[in-house]
Amino acid sequence: MSAGSHPTGQLHPRALALLAHEGISTEGCHSKSWDNLPLTPDIVVTVCSSAAGEICPAYLGPVLRTHWGVDDPGHVTGTEAEIDAAFRNAYRTLRARIEAFLALPLESLKHDQAALKDAMDKIAPPLFKGDFVMSKIQVFDPAMCCNTGVCGPEADPSLLTFAADVEWLNARGAHVERINLGQQPQAFADHPAILRLLETQGEKGLPAVVVNGEIRQSGCYPSRDQLAEWAGLPSEPSLGADAVAARVPVGVPVAASAQDRGGCCGPATRQPGSTTIKCC
């Protein structure tokens, strides 16, 4: 059950839109006070940054309490992108913490209240930095000598732009892991979703972007806006053509597209019936 000490009386439209986008039904949901809950809870988790100091109503009785502080996105000001990012951050943080709670051995912990409280108190600080969690982003690149876009016979402008966008994202606290088919083929074979992608589409399905274990995009590199959305950060303009050209060493020609460049390692193959991918 979800409730507040000072409910506004209405659901925030951005919260409703975000839940709909995530495929979560809001049917029957409404703003409510914790004074009017149909049941007395066994565990009370306060989440807003200001909630930890509030006094729980007396009727809650001897419940187990813990605090998973999250900044209230409803109080955030700024651009539309910044406010939307705040709502996504709050959602992802709370979802990850709830999943961590559900992964606890609750059947055994329910008989040891002290151990249960200790386990719940540890969920927020050790697992999440600053009451915030970003998505895990992995990029499965096609076979290439390097992922900068300038190491082959021709510079690839799409790779140059993407490499700059990854640098931008990592500089803001995110972590984008890039996995090269030419250098780390076993990682492709060990990832079930990526292996299925290669079986059905071959290298045409690369690059593939995996966010929290799910393939979000395949066949081309995402934009900075897409990366920022997946990471829960407000976006900024990506590199323009002049900035991309400035990253290319003097004397290196620029290909019109990634398809023109072809990759300096050539195609990769996987033998029928085998999970071993061969490249270079």
In which residue ranges of the chain is pLDDT below 70? 48-61, 125-134, 149-155, 173, 239-280
User: Which residues are CB-neighbours of 9 under 8 A, at least 6 positions away?
Assistant: 31
Residues 92 and 182 reside in one and the same domain: no
* Res 268: pLDDT: 38
Q: What is the CATH number of the domain that holds 263?
A: 3.40.30.10
Contact 241, 171 (CB under 8 A): no
* Res 239: pLDDT: 57
Using alpha carbons, list the distances in angstroms from residue 96 to 26, 122, 125, 132. Answer: 19, 13, 13, 10
3-state SS class at 215: strand
Residues 70 and 169 reside in one and the same domain: no
In a domain, 32, yes or no: yes
Please count the other Cβ atoms lying within 10 Å of the Cβ belonging to residue 267: 12
Which among 107, 127, 147 is the end of a domain? 127
Report which of 30, 40, 39, 42 is spatially closest to residue 4, judged by C-alpha positions: 30
Report which of 66, 75, 220 is spatially closest to residue 140, judged by C-alpha positions: 220
In a domain, 4, yes or no: no
In a domain, 1, yes or no: no
Residues 86 and 143 reside in one and the same domain: no
In a domain, 132, yes or no: no
Which among 96, 127, 158 is the end of a domain? 127
Residues 141 and 98 reside in one and the same domain: no
Q: Which two tokens stand for residue 31?
A: 């703003």
Residues 254 and 147 reside in one and the same domain: yes
Q: Which domain holds residue 143?
A: 137-278
In a domain, 233, yes or no: yes
Instruction: Please calculate the CA angle 59-61-64 and round it to the nearest 5 degrees.
Output: 130
Residues 244 and 173 reside in one and the same domain: yes
In a domain, 5, yes or no: no
Residues 163 and 108 reside in one and the same domain: no
Residues 141 and 253 reside in one and the same domain: yes
Number of domains in the chain: 2
Contact 85, 232 (CB under 8 A): yes
Report pTM: 0.47
Which among 64, 92, 127 is the end of a domain? 127
In a domain, 6, yes or no: no
* Res 75: pLDDT: 80
Q: DSSP letters of 159-184? A: HHHHHHHHHHHHTTT--EEEEETTT-
Residues 46 and 91 reside in one and the same domain: yes
Residues 64 and 105 reside in one and the same domain: yes
Residues 24 and 114 reside in one and the same domain: yes
Q: What is the C-alpha to C-alpha distance for residues 75 and 69, in angstroms, rounded to an integer?
A: 14
Contact 52, 67 (CB under 8 A): yes
Residues 148 and 256 reside in one and the same domain: yes
Distance of CA 209 to the CA centre of its chain: 11
* Res 77: pLDDT: 79
In a domain, 67, yes or no: yes
